[in-house]
């Protein structure tokens, strides 16, 4: 990384970035965009415009290419999200197993507008939780289900949801 300008990510995570880049041939640094975005999102909380520019510079690609990756993958965020991201599956098979009512309860518990949750997600006023309605978490037979920070919880009741939220508030 001798020819690159030192970015905040490079300054703070030089060793981790070197490790990531070492996994790819020097002429294929663009292949490191995904792991670099995970690093940037962990640092900044989401993929800020500055983070996208930093990753592009490190990977040797245009920022628009990195931005396209952020836009494609649902686990990258181009806007602030809560400390914990809660995704409730609400596709048709899950809806037939009660996910609509479950999502309504989750919105009420977290004090969020269901319309916002269903159309991109909403974050609690304290910044602790972002609730999203998603299509297919690949376990429709276990609905209502959700994932919090990529951890699955299946066959949930409203009471179990309330308990989970209280547990995650302490994390």
Instruction: Give residue-wise pLDDT tens across range 126-152.
Output: 999 999 999 888 888 998 999 998 899
Q: Report which DSSP code applies to 27.
A: G
Proportion of the chain above pLDDT 70, given as a percent: 96
1, 14 contact by CB (below 8 A): yes
For strands 122-123 and 129-134, give the pairing: antiparallel
Bridge partners (DSSP) of residue 87 are: 132, 147
- For the chain, domains (ranges, CATH) are 8-72 (1.10.10.1590), 84-169 (3.40.30.10)
Q: Tell me the whole-structure pTM to 2 decimals.
A: 0.74
Contact present, 82 and 130 (Cβ < 8 Å)? yes
């Amino acid at each position: 990384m001798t020819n690159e300008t030192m970015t905040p990510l490079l300054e703070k995570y030089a060793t981790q970035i070197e490790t990531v880049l070492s996994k790819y041939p020097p002429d294929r640094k663009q292949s490191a965009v995904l792991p670099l975005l995970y690093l940037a999102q962990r640092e900044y909380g989401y993929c800020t415009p500055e983070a996208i520019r930093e990753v592009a510079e490190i990977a040797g690609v245009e920022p628009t290419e990195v931005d396209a990756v952020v836009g494609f993958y649902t686990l990258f965020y181009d806007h602030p999200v809560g400390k914990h991201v809660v995704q409730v599956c609400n596709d048709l098979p899950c809806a037939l197993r009660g996910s609509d009512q479950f999502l309504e309860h989750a919105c009420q518990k977290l004090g969020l507008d269901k319309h916002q949750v269903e159309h991109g997600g909403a974050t609690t006023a304290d910044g602790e939780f972002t609730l999203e309605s998603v299509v297919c978490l690949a376990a429709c037979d276990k609905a209502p289900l959700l994932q919090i920070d990529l951890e699955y919880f299946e066959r949930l009741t409203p009471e179990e949801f309330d308990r989970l939220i209280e547990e995650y508030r302490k994390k």
